Amino acid sequence: MPRRDVFTKIERMSLLGVPSSEEALIQHYTFSESDISMIKQRRGEHNRLGFAIQLCYLRFPGYALPPDTIPNESLLLFVAKQLHFDSTLWPQYAQRAETRREHLLELQAWLGLTPFKKSHINGFVQQLTDLAQHTDRGVKIATVFIEMLHQQRIIIPSIDVIESVCAEAITRGTRQVYESLTDDLSTRQQQLLDDLLSIREGTTITTLTWLRQPSGAPNAKHVLTHIEKLRTIHDLTLPDGLDRMVHRSRFIKIAREGSQMTGQHLRDLEPKRRHATLVAVIHDTRATLIDEIIDMHDRMLGTLFTRAKRNHADRFQQSGKAINAKVRLYFRIGQALLQAKTNGSDPFEAIESIMPWQVFTESIEEAEKLARSSDFDYLPLIGDGFSQLRRYTPQLLEMLQLKAAPVARDLLDGIETIKSMNQRQARKVPEEAPTSFIRKRWENVVHTEDGLDRRFYELCVLSEMKNALRSGDIWVHGSRQFKDFEEYLLPQGRFVDQKLQHDLGLAVANECDHFLEQGVCVVMEQKRQ
């Protein structure tokens, strides 16, 4: 059996430690009448005290007090006080080793306990191996192991034996985790994973290191670089769902450990562990890349809106002097027209008295250029930055595997329409393209006399996709931040099995009738009080 340290010093002490608080002492070590009767059958106060101490240790934590061991001081004082003995009698107890053994055998028979034997080891290791596939934290596995011993009324062995059993369970569990992650890999896929540890052509770093490099500033160049990395991972053609083959916590830990290893360290691992680690690292890297791509795209889209808003304000400010001049001019014209109506004179002559008719006509054309839309919106200026997004958005939409809830199905169809147009290099948006997701603000710029405007239709789709990703109406396969809400829940098959076995672990009843019955009982109890 392999020997490894799976507990810290503090954990070793806490696992089989005797409580010292008054509440815990009362809870675990208060003697019943039958206990007192059994204790009084010993001869001499020192033997009674020693017998009582052994009884306490066998009950909790559940092991026999080793020879030549001084019991916990708080426990010794608490027991001596109950029995009305002097705690200093302890050194007199069991000066004969035979007496201690006799007491231990008698207590085992009375409490219905059996000693832990070597033959027990393999059975417990097998049971703990399943848990070790979920976590490799020794103290958690040891806690379950000790609880199993309590349930089976087996005396807890020494901490070294517990550690040895847990270490073997962790070793077997880890081996099974590696096998789960690698059994479906073909020879070619294993080779492609190993190739990630080779130096990337034209650089001094491995392909794996390149894949894990940070994104940098949000711009089209860096988005394209990340898309290239995502495509490299896609080309590995790893089986889908490998990350769900093992417990999530183990998978994350393997990925974290692998990301901290150097290429040389990874190459030195035995093949099964190396490939399993690379699988975990690649899945983690893919999720990071997808989230960083979406984040950079969102920030660039946000910058586009901010710039359009600023340009809208700047243009209005720059034309402020001209607008003010026009307002003052039309104020004079308005006064002349009001005066003409009062005097009954010709209004056209009134206008010409201010300026020649040709100049007036030209001023109207200038006013039209100065005027903004009735809603004073900057959205029409968004189109000025469309070319920046088009440098990467066709590849972005192709690489992201998007799925949608029913409420966003029409928007997903709009995304598919744009992808189809990109593949066909079409410039005109089809008449049958979905439009129900277009908000009122976008209608004036998307809908034109010639049909749907290509630039603004795509910009509207990208803007709504951003909102849908944030709300969870659209999710991305492989993403960590924008994944399907169902992935946060128990798999349906597992939920049904646990529900049938009443093993959901809920703090309330999972049956309506039972829940209501409990509620009625609580109300009745409150009324009686």
How confident is the model over 276-293, as pLDDT tens digits? 999 999 999 999 999 999
Q: How far apart are the first and last CA of the chain?
A: 60
Question: Which of 24-33, 298-307, 493-502 is least confident?
Answer: 493-502
CA distance 304 to 309: 9
Q: Retrieve residue 264's tokens.
A: 């040389």
CA-based radius of gyration for the chain:
39
Quickly count helices (H) and strands (E) in the chain: 25, 4
What Cα–Cα distance (Å) separates residue 432 from each residue in 198, 429, 447, 452, 503?
A: 49, 8, 13, 10, 51
pLDDT at 128 over 70: yes
Residue 126 CB neighbours (<10 A):
12
- String of DSSP letters for 194-224: HHTTSBPTTSSSBHHHHHTS---SSSHHHHH
Query: Is the Cβ–Cβ distance between 156 and 149 less than 8 Å?
Result: yes
- Say if CB 442 and CB 253 are below 8 A apart: no
Give this prediction's pTM.
0.79
The pLDDT of 467-474, averaged and rounded, is 94
Strands 474-476 and 402-404: antiparallel
Burial 475-490 (b: 16+ CB within 10 A, else e): bbebbeebbeeeeeee
Distance (Å, whole) CA 267 – CA 418: 43
HSE-up (13 A, CA, CB side) for residue 17: 12
What are the residue ranges of helices labelled H in 112-195?
A: 121-132, 138-151, 159-182, 187-195
| pLDDT tens sequence across 222-272 | 999 999 999 999 999 999 888 888 999 999 999 999 999 999 999 999 999
- Say yes or no to pLDDT of 375 above 60: no
Question: Which residue has better confidence, 366 or 384?
Answer: 384
pLDDT band at 363 (very low <50, low <70, confident <90, very high): confident
